[in-house]
Amino acid sequence: MNCVILGEMGAGKKCLLQVAEGEAFPKGKKGASQLEGKTSAKAGKKTVGISFLALTPEFSHHGSGWGDEELIERLGSQKKGEVFKAVAYCVPARTYAARHASICDPKSINSWITMISKVLPKAPIIIVRTKTDLEATPLTKGKTDLGLSVEQANALVSEHERVCGVIDCSAKDGSGMEEFYDSLGKLIIQHQPDGSCVIC
């Protein structure tokens, strides 16, 4: 089963997969446009293998990755072995102010979910709140779009039909990482319309 991990540049996808695969937290800041990982999850008495592929929009689409045509084309691929059954959408619990709209801005998040739901209409979407170690940092006054709270993430589950759950984790301090694959795998399997899954 193939699952895709999506999110803007700087959402923590690279660090998330590397630490989930048992590697040390990377010190470098340079992200990867593509990264892979594998795990398995139990579905009743059966064990289902899940392959993860993390995709990052081109730099020219930074802050508006949902509009990256190449990424959209890859998501919608129907080639054998390339079809995604589930999406893990990564949004950091805290981010930085930039010239473009914040990657935690509600408009950005809803644009991503809308795009994913259109391209992969049957795929469950799991919200992965990354960088939770930064959550203790107070939000700058008037800059409420620089973070995604637990309450906001859970509200997305109620507001969007395909969004089926939320996972909190921090690749840096290890919070939620030991059970990350298990938690993700269970959500993916539980919400497959035909017993199959997507990660954004």
User: For residues 99 and 94, what is the distance between their CA atoms, to the nearest angstrom?
Assistant: 16
pTM: 0.86
DSSP letter assigned to residue 22? T
Q: Is residue 81 part of a domain?
A: yes
CB burial of residue 3 (10 Å; 0-12, 13-18, 19+): buried
Most confident segment among 42-46, 97-101, 146-150: 146-150
What are the φ and ψ backbone dihedral angles of 96, each rounded to 5 degrees?
Answer: -110, 160
Domain assignment present for residue 139? The answer is no
Q: What are the phi and psi torsion angles at 140 (to 5°)?
A: -60, 140
Q: Is 25 contained in some domain?
A: no
- pLDDT tens digits, one per residue of 54-73: 888 988 888 889 999 999 99
pLDDT in tens, 73-117: 999 988 877 889 999 999 999 987 777 778 888 999 999 999 999
Residue 42, domain extent: 2-16+33-90+115-131+145-199
Question: In which residue are the tokens 């709140």 written?
Answer: 129
CA distance 101 to 110: 13
pLDDT band at 18 (very low <50, low <70, confident <90, very high): confident
pLDDT digits (tens, 9 = 90+) for 161-193: 999 999 999 999 999 999 998 899 889 888 887
pLDDT of residue 43: 58
Domain assignment present for residue 124? The answer is: yes
CATH code of the domain in which 61 resides: 3.40.50.300
Contact between residue 102 and residue 145 where contact means Cβ atoms under 8 Å apart: yes
Any idea of the CA torsion for 117, 82, 1, 167, to the nearest 10 degrees? -40
Would you say residue 106 lies in a domain?
no
DSSP letters, 30-99, are ---SEEEEEEEEEETTEEEEEEEEEE---GGGTT-GGG-HHHHHHHT--STTT-EEEEEEEEESB----S
Residue 140 belongs to some domain of the structure = no
In a domain, 108, yes or no: no
Average pLDDT across the chain, whole number: 84
Tally of domains within the chain: 1
28 part of a folded domain: no
